[in-house]
Amino acid sequence: MKNNINESYSSEVWLISGLFNSLPGILTLEGGKLIFTALGTGTYWKSGLKKIEKKSGAENFSSLLKQNKPAELFCVELSKIEKVNFPFIYFSAGAHITINNERYRLSFIEPNNTQMPVFNKSRYNAVLKRNVEIIQDIGHARKVGKKWRSLLTA
């Protein structure tokens, strides 16, 4: 794992699970930490959100999302990330990240079953305090994935 304490980067991302569940958010590298902040419930039902909450240990995760507030899924020091890989099948537009023996599947391209929520940006200043790479198409998603690969792997 690279030690990118001085690097900063943010992009749209979707947490994916199975064939039908995806959760929109922002993935940020800042101050040597990797942060996933969910911005909506995506295609998850209440029980699925509770399962993610339990898996990550993120308190009030599902209740914040149900109130249409951003919710931090994880904030982890790069040195604490156990494994990062970019499976060939994702064509650089997705990654698997393992934290505390839990694997998170991320997509840098918007899944067909979900979208980034429309929201009032003034309500999310803490999340959007920096420039966020907005994914525009599959070619752009692949470039974003390659950028993340350069930041997160040796």
The confidence score (pLDDT) of residue 100 equals: 93
Locate the domains of the chain by residue range.
9-152
Q: How does pLDDT run across 1-44, given as a tens digit for each residue? A: 556 667 889 999 999 987 789 999 999 999 999 999 999 899 88
d(CA 56, CA 73): 7
Topology of the domain comprising 9-152: PH-domain like (2.30.29)
d(CA 22, CA 32): 26
The confidence score (pLDDT) of residue 110 equals: 85
Pick from 38, 22, 28, 35: nearest CA to 8: 28
Instruction: Please compute the mean of the pLDDT values over residues 73-86 and round it to a whole number.
Output: 94
Q: In terms of residues, how long is the chain?
A: 154
